[in-house]
Structure 1
Amino acid sequence: MNTATASRYAAEYQTIAPKLPGQSLPWLQTLRAKALEQFSAMGFPSPREEEWRYTNVSGIEKKLFVPSADLTAGDVNAEWLKSYQLQDTWVLVLVNGHFSAELSVLDGLPEGVSVMGMADALAKQPDKVEKYLGAAADQAEHSFIAFNTAWFTDGLFVHVPAKLVLDKPIQLLHIVNGADAMATTRNIIITDEMAEVKVIETFIGNDSAYLTAAVTEVFVEQNADLTLYKMQSESEKAYHFGGSYIKQARDARFTHHNFAFGGLLARSDVHVDLDHASECELNGLYLGIKRQHIDNHTRINHLKPYAISRELYKGVLDDRARGVFQGRVIVAVDAQKTDSQMNNRNLLLSDDAEADTKPQLEIYADDVKCGHGVTVGQLDEKSIFYLQSRCVDEETARNMLTFAFANEMVDKVKIKSLHDMVLEQVLARFPQEGVNKEWL
């Protein structure tokens, strides 16, 4: 930990605290004060902590990133923004950690669906926010959550009422615009009983060094169905922490697709608590080039019987990039009849690339079906030789096999506009010679 850096941020905090939302809410002020105290005592996470042993965030400590107290939507290039707005979706835009109604697209949103900035939610329905804020993300778990709790400037509040099936996805578009900026957002997504919704989180930014610290708390009530997509494609100079913390009720279904492409250093947490007979599926693809460091940390808590979880994360690493996967499945004493499978597969395209993988199973019940698998390696020379024997040159053969490896995860995306955007991001990061886009 680096408490000296924490002290610098704590001192800076006093200048922005009066402008943070929820000043009239004693419970929120108490929550922020406790979070600030925890962060000041702990500092940013250190590799000496087991959950952060492969990821050194000292680069963040060397700078003092400053949150924006005001919205700067007018500085966003309209054409650039439009290229990331997905077609046939409702779009909620955040700029430097602030919700912009001006840039958002909410026409035709069904009656009863509550969608607004977190600052507005704290002003209009504080009791509802109080019920959910901090209920899924434990700020004592590590200091980035405490940091976000103290510093969040805004965020998004999404509530889908019972039995409503949304016919279009909701896109949460996070934009950072400015050097040395800090975007701290807190999001709450609630899907009531028997409702069904798809939510897409997209993180982008200009070509500069900045810090994104976003926490999303998700609540999937009984027999509801929520699919959450995350595409992180930020600047190669940026630092990113994004945490998704999910609580599922009985018979609830939750699916997460996590695509990590950008950032100099990027960390993504996905933690899920499963109730009786609930189902969870986690999919991930991380692509690292140059000197990128991409860390994925997942945890699935089986708390009650008959729950099912499936997890598949794949990484492709080139140059001097480093990928980290730490996956943990915990089966509680009462969680009999649990069915859980976890797999992590890594493809190294360079002798200097590195993959650190740490799958964990903690099983305290005796009637379960659980397993995990891990692979780290290079392209199969036999497969390359087979393609060469079919008149494909070696370079094209390697490109085809690399894309085939990654494309398994892209093909899991059933929203066409998002599928095409993710595919473009994959194609932009590795050689395309000999690869026909239509094949993918």
Structure 2
Amino acid sequence: MNTATASRYTAEYQTLAPTLPGQTLPWLKQLRCRALEKFSAHGFPSPREEEWRYTNVSAIEKKLFSPSLSLTTPPVDKVWLKGCQLEDAWSVVLVNGRFSAELSVLDGLPEAVSLMSMADALTASPAIAPLVEKYLGQAVNYSEHGFIAFNTAWFTDGLLLHVPAGQVLAKPVQLLHVVTQAETMATTRTIIIVGEMAEAKVIETFAGVDNSYLTAAVTEVFIDQNADLTLYKMQSESEKAYHFGGTYVKQGKDARFTHHNFALGGLLARSDILTDMDQASECELNGLYLGVKRQHIDSHTRINHLKPHAISREIYKGVLDDRARGVFQGRVIVAEDAQKTDSQMNNRNLLLSDNAEADTKPQLEIYADDVKCGHGVTVGQLDESSVFYLQSRCIDEETARNMLTFAFANEMVDKIRIKSLHDKVLEQVLLRFPQEGIEKSWL
């Protein structure tokens, strides 16, 4: 715990507070104050905390990032931004942690669907504002750890997406977070609500120009009975940036949740994905993290089986080169009442350098006696027999190794069912590793 850093942020909070959304709402002001007290007392997470034992955020503590106070959208390279936006998707853009209406593309969004900035949602019509009060802070408590408390107190904006019961979205919704200023912190809070029998595909994209900055984003997700949500996260921050992104999910009975997490950028990046499962609900977590140079990428998941007959599947893969470090902590908890649970977890890591490191910690906590649960972990280098096999087919050694590396990673890329997103993720994968002998059309 670095209380000096916490004190510096706390000292500046009074100057920032009047610019934060919802300051006229007593319930939100009280929530922010409690979160601020929590952060002031404990600061950012420490490796002394079990769930942060492999990730030291002292590099963040040595800096003092400042939020963007401007309520107008700063200049953005339109060509670069267009390269981040997906075709055939509704796109909502936040720049430096604040919503930009002029850069967003929402034409044709069904009238029944509510999609707006968090600042607008807090002051919207009586039909919308109560949704925020009802759901904010219900999927995750600010006391979970320091970054949650920090986000709860400091969030400058965010998004509300409400898909009403029975609504099936014809196109994906992209929530595009971009940072353009150095030493900026982008603290956003997003709420996604998918009503009963509704279906939606949502893509969270995090990108930024080549600067040092901090992203601290929290997304709370609520999936009602028999609803279906597929949520993609593509994190390709600047190689100098720091990233914390938390996704916290509440699933109703028979609800289906699929999450694809692609952690590709950032100097130090941490992702939390936590979900609470109701009776007969289904959850699928897929992840790919790629580390080069001195990147540190931490993926933390927790699946809570709370009721019977729920099914969860999880597979995370990591590719690490140079002096990169990858962390995977996967935890499945089966409650006493969660009989007939079916859960499988797998983590596989490929090390391309003797200096790369993978720390993996799968956990099963089972309190029921009629379940089917299992997990598996591998950490290693390329299979030399596979390399030799390709060489025997007249492929040189370097190309053979590149082909095997891309095949390992591409298994997760191929799970993407949105073509424009698939192509962008594949492009990012190709940027991070040697391409000699690799044709994009092969993958």
Q: CA deviation at 1:75?
A: 1.2
Counterpart CA distance in 1 for 2:293 and 2:65 is 24
Residue 372 (str. 1) matches residue 367 (str. 2): no
Paired position in structure 2 for 1:421:
424
| 1:148-167: CA deviation from partner (whole Å, max 9, x where unpaired) | 00000000000001111111
**Cα 1:2–1:74, aligned 2, differ >3 Å: closer, same or farther?**
closer
Amino acid at match of 2:274: H
Paired position in structure 1 for 2:439:
436
Residue 51 (str. 1) matches residue 54 (str. 2): no
Counterpart CA distance in 1 for 2:69 and 2:23 is 14
Counterpart CA distance in 1 for 2:416 and 2:317 is 15
Residue 287 (str. 1) matches residue 290 (str. 2): yes
Counterpart CA distance in 2 for 1:422 and 1:387 is 26
**Structure 1 residues 123-202: aligned runs within 5 Å:** 123-124=123-124, 125-202=128-205
Matched-pair contact (CA < 8 Å) for 1:71–1:100: no
Paired position in structure 1 for 2:112:
112
Residue 25 (str. 1) matches residue 25 (str. 2): yes
Amino acid at match of 1:5: T
Paired position in structure 1 for 2:215:
212
Counterpart CA distance in 2 for 1:71 and 1:128 is 24
1:36 aligned counterpart, secondary structure:
helix
Where do 5+ consecutive residues of structure 1 fail to align? Answer: none
1:83 aligned counterpart, secondary structure:
helix
Matched-pair contact (CA < 8 Å) for 1:255–1:280: yes
Amino acid at match of 2:78: A
Amino acid at match of 2:256: R
1:155 aligned counterpart, secondary structure:
strand
Matched-pair contact (CA < 8 Å) for 1:72–1:96: no
Paired position in structure 1 for 2:36:
36
| 1:29-76: CA deviation from partner (whole Å, max 9, x where unpaired) | 000000000000011111011000000000001110001122452411
Q: CA deviation at 1:13?
A: 1.0
| 1:86-121: CA deviation from partner (whole Å, max 9, x where unpaired) | 000000000011011110000000120000000000
Paired position in structure 2 for 1:362:
365
Paired position in structure 2 for 1:342:
345
Paired position in structure 1 for 2:257:
254
Paired position in structure 1 for 2:392:
389
Counterpart CA distance in 2 for 1:127 and 1:393 is 63
1:184 aligned counterpart, secondary structure:
strand
Q: Give the TM-score taking structure 1 as reference length.
A: 0.99
Worse-matched range after superposition: 420-429 or 73-82: 73-82
Paired position in structure 1 for 2:103:
103
Amino acid at match of 1:3: T
Counterpart CA distance in 2 for 1:366 and 1:70 is 56
Counterpart CA distance in 2 for 1:201 and 1:118 is 16
Residue 318 (str. 1) matches residue 325 (str. 2): no
Matched-pair contact (CA < 8 Å) for 1:71–1:96: no
Where do 5+ consecutive residues of structure 2 fail to align? Answer: none
Counterpart CA distance in 2 for 1:333 and 1:32 is 35
Paired position in structure 1 for 2:244:
241
2:84 aligned counterpart, secondary structure:
coil
Counterpart CA distance in 1 for 2:72 and 2:83 is 19
Residue 269 (str. 1) matches residue 272 (str. 2): yes
Worse-matched range after superposition: 68-77 or 140-149: 68-77
1:48 aligned counterpart, secondary structure:
coil
| 1:164-205: CA deviation from partner (whole Å, max 9, x where unpaired) | 111100000000111100000000000000000000000000
Residue 10 (str. 1) matches residue 10 (str. 2): yes
Counterpart CA distance in 2 for 1:376 and 1:73 is 45
Counterpart CA distance in 1 for 2:131 and 2:215 is 26
1:259 aligned counterpart, secondary structure:
strand
> Which of structure 1's runs of 4+ aligned residues deviate more than 2 A?
71-74
Matched-pair contact (CA < 8 Å) for 1:274–1:307: yes
**Structure 1 residues 80-95: aligned runs within 5 Å:** 80-95=80-95
2:54 aligned counterpart, secondary structure:
coil
2:157 aligned counterpart, secondary structure:
coil
Counterpart CA distance in 2 for 1:23 and 1:13 is 13
Residue 221 (str. 1) matches residue 228 (str. 2): no
Counterpart CA distance in 1 for 2:368 and 2:133 is 34
Counterpart CA distance in 2 for 1:184 and 1:36 is 14
| 1:194-243: CA deviation from partner (whole Å, max 9, x where unpaired) | 00000000000010100000000000000000000000000000000000
Matched-pair contact (CA < 8 Å) for 1:72–1:95: no
Counterpart CA distance in 2 for 1:322 and 1:360 is 20
Identity across the alignment (%):
80
Counterpart CA distance in 1 for 2:171 and 2:436 is 36
2:152 aligned counterpart, secondary structure:
helix
Matched-pair contact (CA < 8 Å) for 1:302–1:335: yes
Residue 203 (str. 1) matches residue 215 (str. 2): no
